[in-house]
Amino acid sequence: MDFLDELESMAQVAIQQPQQPHEPENDDIQRWQVLFGYTYAQAAQKIQEHRSDLSRVLVTESHWELVRAEKEAEGYDKAAYEHSCSLATRTSLVVPQKVMSKTTKPSLYLMKLEGALSNVDQVKTAAGLHESPAQLKGTDDSGELTTFCKVDMESKKNILDYLSQQGSRFQPTFVRYSKAEKDLPAGSAYPSLGIDTTMPQHRPNSMDDPKLAPAQNEYPVWYFFYGTLADPMVLKRLLGHQPSYQPATVTGGVLKTWGGKYKALVDAIDQKAEVQGHAFLVQDQEQEHSLQLYETDKYEVVRCEIQINGKEKVKGLTFRFIGDVDP
C-alpha cells in the first residue's frame, strides 16, 4: 500500500467512525475472548483500540459479503474479522534479527499468567522447558494483583511459536526484566574491577581472604557511583530519602560512554588508573535491588576497592558496563 492509498483507507475508516464511540457490548467482549483468547479487560480494550485506530485493516462491504456466511459460522462479526486480519498482517512481517554484542547478557522477561497460559505448567509445555518457571507476584497497570513467571528470550520465542502452531490468537503479555546482575562467588574474587582474577596473585588464600569481600548478601555495603547515581536528586527519587555521599575514587577502571551520552565504567589497561566519583552506603537488599533495576542489564555488579575522602580504603561494589562502548 503506497502513501496515497493508506491516506484513502484511513479516510474511509474515519467516515465510518461514530462521533462518540460507545462502550463495547458484553456480547462483543465475550466474542473476542473466545476468538482471540483475551481476558475480559483485554478484549474490551482491544475493541476500543480497534474502533479508534484509523490505520487498521479495513474490510470493505463487498469483501465482507463474500466471506460473511463462513466467518459468522465461526463466530466472527465484521469488526472481529478485521481484527483477525490485522493480527495476520502483523505476524507475517519479517523482523530482522538484532545482532547482540558477545558481552550482552540474554534478555529476560516477566510473562503475565492469564488466558491460554494461566499457570506455570502450561508455560512449561509451551516453552519446552524441563521444569516449570518460578511464579512471581506483582500488580498490573490498574493496581490489580497479578501473577508472573520469568522466561528468557528463547523461551519467549518458543511460546510464541507454540501458540502459532496451535492456531491460537492469544497474545501473552511480556515485560522486559532488565536488572544489573549481581553474582559474587564465595570462593573467588571474580568479578572485580580491573583485575584478572585467574592470575595467581589475585586468587584467595582462604575463605577469610579480603579479596572475597564484600560477600553476595553482605549489608550494609559501600557502592562507588560515577554517573547519574551520583546525582542526589536521582538517588532520592529511587530510595525515597536524601542520600549522603562521600567523595571517593576507585582504581583499575576508566570512564567511557555508550549510546553517545551514557557513562560506562569499564576495566582499564592500567590497573593504577583512577576514576573520581562518590561513595554511598547501601543499607539493605531492597535498596540494592532498586539500584540494579535502575542501571539495567547493561551493567553488572563487581567488587572494587574504594578510597573514601582520599584516606580510608574499603572493600565495596560498583556497576561495570558489559556492552560495547563508543569508539
* CA atoms lying within 13 Å on the CB side of residue 28: 19
List, for residues 253-266, the tens digit of each pLDDT value.
999 998 888 899 99
Q: What are the φ and ψ backbone dihedral angles of 243, each rounded to 5 degrees? A: -80, 160
Residue 120 pLDDT greater than 80, yes or no: yes
Task: Give the list of residues 6+ apart from residue 70 with CB closer than 8 angstroms, or none.
Answer: none
Model pLDDT, residue 105: 62
Place of cell 539500584: 291
| Cell representation of residue 261 | 551520552
List % helix, strand, coil for the chain (3-state, nearest 5).
35, 25, 40
pLDDT band of residue 221 (cuts 50, 70, 90) is very high
List, for residues 144-190, the tens digit of each pLDDT value.
778 899 899 899 999 999 998 888 888 888 888 888 999 999 989 99
* Cβ burial 89-104 (10 Å sphere, 16+ → b, else e): eeeeeeeeeeeeeeee
- Count the residues in the chain: 327
Dihedral sign (CA 42, 175, 257, 220): positive
Q: What are the φ and ψ backbone dihedral angles of 303, each rounded to 5 degrees? A: -75, 150
Model pLDDT, residue 22: 60
Among the listed residues 160, 87, 113, 49, the one whose alpha carbon sits nearest the alpha carbon of residue 76 = 87
270/146 Cα distance (integer angstroms): 49
Q: Are the C-beta atoms of residues 177 and 108 closer than 8 Å to each other?
A: yes
Indicate the DSSP class of residue 215: P
Range 8-30 average pLDDT? 58
Percent with pLDDT over 90 in the chain: 41
List, for residues 39-83, the tens digit of each pLDDT value.
777 888 888 888 776 566 677 777 777 778 778 887 889 888 888
Q: Are the C-beta atoms of residues 110 and 82 closer than 8 Å to each other?
A: no
Tell me the residue type at 291.
Answer: L
Residue 12 pLDDT greater than 50, yes or no: no
Burial class (CB in 10 A: 0-12, 13-18, 19+), 252: buried
pLDDT band of residue 252 (cuts 50, 70, 90) is very high
pTM of the model: 0.60
Place of cell 467482549: 29
131/253 Cα distance (integer angstroms): 40
9/11 Cα distance (integer angstroms): 5
Rg, the chain, Cα only = 27
